[in-house]
Structure 1
C-alpha cells in the first residue's frame, strides 16, 4: 500500500510540475514580437504575406542586376533577422520597368531576384528555403512615364508567407 501511495504522489508531483511550465514562445510570423520586428525592418502585411517594402534599398539601375554595397548590407541584415526569427522560407520577386522587350525584362528581373537570393544565402539563409521569381514589368508599383517611376519599378520584393 505504501508503494502505491508513493507512486501516486510521485505521479501527482510530476503532473503538477508539468502544468507549471509555460509554453515556449511561438515561432514564425504569427508571434507578436516577430510581427513588430518585421514592421520595424520595413515589412508590411499584404494579401500575399509580409512584403519587404523599403524598395529604395533594393532598387537597380537600368539594365543592372548587381546589388550596390548598401543594398547588399540591407539584404544581409534582413536575412539575419529572418534567421533569428527562425523564418527560412522567403519568396524573392524581381521586377523591371517597361522599357525593352518582355522576354529580356523577364530574364533581367530573374537575375535581380537571384542577386538578392545569393546575398541572402551568403548571410546564412538556406538556398532550399528561397523561391526566386522574375516577373518582368507585369507588376509596376507606379507608372513608367517618368524616370523616377521607372526607377521605382526596377526592384526586388521579399515576401514571407504567413499571417
Structure 2
C-alpha cells in the first residue's frame, strides 16, 4: 500500500497547483485590464462614468494584490502524504466556494447601490451610486463566474484522482479499512 500511496500526492498536487497558477494568470489579466480601464475612465470621465472608473480601478488594484500574494506564497511546500493532499484539496475547493458566496454579496451590493441611487437628492450622488453599483455588478459577475469555474475544475480534479480513492476508505471498529 505504501508504494501505491507515494505517487499520488506529488502528481495530484502538481496538477492542483497548475490549475491555480493558470487561474492567477486569468485574474492578473483581469486586474490589469481593470486598472487600465479604471484609470482611463477616472481621468477622462465625469459623473457616473468617473465613479464606475474609480470603483473598477480599486477592484483592479485589490485583485493585483491578491495575485501578488498568491504568487509570493508559492514557496510553501506541497503535502507529502495522502492526508495532506486531501486537506489541501478540500481547502482549495472551500476557498472557491467561500469566494463565490462573497461574489453573490458583491452582486447584491451592486443592485442595492443601483436602487439606492434613486433616493439620492443630488445628481452627483445619483451618478456616483449608479457608477459604483454598475462596477460592482461587473466585478461580482466576473468573479462569480471565475470562482464557480475554478471550483468546478478543482472538484473535477478531485473526482478524477483523489475522491475515488477516499470512497474505498471506511472506518471499522478499532481502525480504518480500505475496501477494494
TM (norm. structure 1) is 0.26
Larger Rg: 1
Q: Which of 1 and 2 has higher RCO (CA within 8 Å, sep 6+)?
A: 1
User: Which one has the bigger helix percentage?
Assistant: 2
TM (norm. structure 2) is 0.24
